[in-house]
Amino acid sequence: MNPRRLPEKLLPEAITPFQAVEAAYPEALARVVEALRRGLAALVECPKGLTPYVYKCVRDRLKSEGLACTYLDGRGEGAEGEGALGRGLMAGMVDALRDAVRGAVDQRVIVLPHLDLLTSSTGTLTTEAREVISLMYENPSLQWLGFRDPSFPIPRVVTDLFPHRVSLLGLPRERLAQLVTRREARKLGRDGLDVYALYSHVSGLDAVRLRNLLGALQGEDHPVDPSAAWRWLREATVEPGLSLPDVDLERDLGGYAGVKKRIRREILDVVRHTAGLDDPAAIERAEALVPRGIIFWGPPGTGKTLFAKAMATALGAAVQVISGPELKSRWVGESEARIRQVFLRARQSAPSLIIFDELDAFASARGTYTGSGVEHSMVNQLLTELDGFRANERVFVVGTTNLVEALDPALLRPGRFEFQLHVPYPDAADRDAILEVHDRKLDLQMSEEARAYAVRQSAAVHEGGTPWSGDHLQALGRALARRRLRDGLTGPTTPADVDAALTEHADRPSLTAAERYVVATHEAGHAVCALHCPHMPSIDRISIRSDVAGALGFVRYADPAHRYVVTRGQLLDLLCTLFGGREAERLLLADLSVGSAHDLRRATEVARDVVGRFGMGPDDLEVRDFGAGPEGNGHVAEPTRARVDAGVRAVLEEARARAEAILTAHRGALETLRDLLLTHEVLDASVLATLE
């Protein structure tokens, strides 16, 4: 017989909530009864709705042992004859507890169904809590049966009274078949009940809530397509604060083929493989291989949270997105309580996925905190929750961060956040695929030329000073969509439309004719030097239109063919090109502007690295690492430092002289390019090809 699918005839005809509790938790109930029979106090952790059913099951078993129970729920008569509703439920429970402790003469079990409400506190204990604790310690001969909801923390001084503790959270998979009736199984498909499929939907429920949901199942018997019943069941199990995302890994996320491949291979494919197994032992082994903790790290705006939602969609998991800073509280214990609540909701809605956005906001390496130190307790609580998963529990935790190196090392060990995935800024192919997604969703009707133009434009640094991210590309798509709506455009989106969307709100300075002449000369100098340096990437665009914030003009290059290996020839060509703007001004204007300040600073940094770090300086300087930066060679002797500085000067002067020679030899091309820039302001690669 297939252990995944039970024949309908093996399922019960009917089952009451009390029978469901007996069937779901027989071992736990037996342990509680055995502890009480031996005179030991027992604490049961379970949802509030489960408490009365568990109590009845325990009470019925205790009757055969000759033990009576006193159930203190605060609904009895008070000392003055007032009902609990008139005096308050808490006061009624405290009065009843006082009478039970000081009036008990026979052996009986004192049952506290609301122990958590009586003693719960995230800071200073209330007056009622202090009295309850005092009363519970007053009569050592009493036997206690306490109930606590996992949502409410209780003080250690209370839990110490209970040497025997039982947790009834979720459902044991091996007991699930006894909790489903034949009528309900018929609503979920043909050929019996798929136990493992059902467990993946309801593992976080307790037995009573499961019976309530299954009893409400509607639809035809033995449907050919039971997806509607499964979908209703999935939606009904989602706790408030969680949602079922609809983000397709391929349809809604463009590019990032490597990131998608790792998500599929390391997580999704393993889960799908597990779903196709029949042997329980093989299923357990496969389940243990699925990473439960995942870190998506990389710069802002690259889609880390979107990747997590796409993963949740593929897993059929509910999602709750938690902002790291929002978890912090100034009240003692409240931050840890919030983390407990997050994991409790996730377990009750399993399969589920928790996304801790900006995880580093509270989970930085312990010992680095400068505030109140609440982060230390929050990290400890997070570690406790991560270590508390059952082997077959379908709860995944994703942390997103810009600084993975700042996270506490204990979080990154195997078994916790063991799967780490870098989501970088998108390259040209990724940007093209992302734009294609937004083109389809926003009905932009982008032509091939328009999309290619947008990809080239987004190769530069964004106005915010960072490379273009997925968020920036989405903003561009939305700007295009607003422009089409506002201007009533219906035809294809053209490169001119893209350019307008990028520049129509740009805060451009108004240059005089003389200033435009200087800027055009400067950028033409960079371009001509780059065209005659064999190791420089090809030029994609030249502009004197102030398209980039903080720059009056720019020369943008295509993505380099070699992105990870940098040679001496490339560095020397870069230095020559950096001097091109300054030397063009000297040659054509017989003057210099301050526009070369950034070029000089960068050239000096590169030259220092060439000589001081990479051992590529003059031949008379020994090959070693002298340290980077102006102060980096402070560990060497003064004569050696002077030789290093001399080497830097020599490299810079050689690059400057090379730029001067190139521009002098190609003065005609330099002047032609300057004049074209003054006329058109923006030139692309096709125009530059005629100058080579």
CB count in 10 Å sphere of residue 453: 22
Residue 316 included in any domain: yes
3-state secondary structure of 350: coil
Half-sphere exposure of 602 (CA within 13 A, CB side): 13
Residue 477, sorted as left (phi over 0), alpha (psi -120 to 50) or beta, turns out to be alpha
Of 202, 236, 270, which one is at a domain's C-terminal end? 236
Residues 161 and 177 in one domain: no
pLDDT at 121: 67
Residue 539 included in any domain: yes
Residues 160 and 275 in one domain: no
pLDDT at 637: 75
Look at the chain and report how many structural domains it folds into. 5
pLDDT at 2: 58
144 strand-pairing partners? 110
Reported as a single tens digit per residue, the pLDDT across 410-419 is: 888 877 888 8
Residue 17 included in any domain: no
Residues 321 and 434 in one domain: no
Residue 241 included in any domain: no
Residue closest to 334 by CA, chosen among 191, 159, 122: 122
Residues 336 and 351 in one domain: yes
CATH number at residue 435: 1.10.8
Residue 18 included in any domain: no
pLDDT at 634: 52
Residues 441 and 463 in one domain: yes
Percentage of the chain beyond pLDDT 70 is 89
What DSSP element (H or E) covers 680? helix 667-680
CATH number at residue 362: 3.40.50.300
Query: How confident is the prediction for the chain on average, in pLDDT?
Result: 85
Reported as a single tens digit per residue, the pLDDT across 158-178 is: 999 999 999 998 888 889 999
Residue 273 included in any domain: yes
Of 422, 453, 472, which one is at a domain's C-terminal end? 422
Residues 582 and 627 in one domain: yes
Q: How confident is the model at residue 82 (pLDDT cuts 50, 70, 90)?
A: very low
Looking only at the bridges linking them, the beta strands covering 419-422 and 293-297 are: parallel
Residues 210 and 127 in one domain: no
pLDDT at 77: 45
pLDDT at 367: 61
Residue 508 included in any domain: no
Residues 648 and 548 in one domain: yes
Reported as a single tens digit per residue, the pLDDT across 564-581 is: 788 999 999 999 999 999
Residues 345 and 363 in one domain: yes
Contact 294, 396 (CB under 8 A): yes
Residues 498 and 521 in one domain: no
Annotate 149-177 with three-state secondary structure. Answer: CCCCCCCHHHHCCCCEEEECCCCCHHHHH
Residues 494 and 519 in one domain: no
Domain span at 53: 26-167
Q: Is it the case that residue 464 has pLDDT exceeding 70?
A: no
pLDDT at 370: 54
Choice between 633 and 477, residue whose per-residue pLDDT is larger: 477
Reported as a single tens digit per residue, the pLDDT across 123-171 is: 677 788 888 889 888 888 888 999 999 888 888 889 999 999 999 988 8
**Tokens linked to 388:** 């508390």
Reported as a single tens digit per residue, the pLDDT across 325-378 is: 777 766 666 787 788 888 888 888 888 999 998 888 777 776 665 555 566 778
Reported as a single tens digit per residue, the pLDDT across 282-305 is: 888 887 788 888 999 999 999 999
Q: How confident is the model at residue 398 (pLDDT cuts 50, 70, 90)?
A: very high
Q: Which of 184, 523, 583, 585 is catalytic?
A: 523
Annotate 25-80 with three-state secondary structure. Answer: CHHHHHHHHHHHHCCCCEEEECCHHHHHHHHHHHHHHHHCCCCEEEECCCCCECCC
Q: Among this protein's residues, is 585 annotated catalytic?
A: no
Average confidence (pLDDT) over 650-679:
94
Instruction: Report pTM.
Output: 0.78
Scored b (16 or more CB within 10 A) or e, 384-410 reads: ebbeebeebbbbbbbbbbeebeebbeb
Reported as a single tens digit per residue, the pLDDT across 199-238 is: 888 888 999 999 999 999 888 998 989 989 999 988 888 8
Residue 541 included in any domain: yes
pLDDT at 80: 38
Reported as a single tens digit per residue, the pLDDT across 594-632 is: 989 999 999 999 999 998 888 888 877 778 777 755 445
Annotate 552-594 with three-state secondary structure. Answer: CCEEEECCCCCCCCCCHHHHHHHHHHHHHHHHHHHHHHCCCCH
Of 167, 202, 227, which one is at a domain's C-terminal end? 167
Residues 196 and 320 in one domain: no
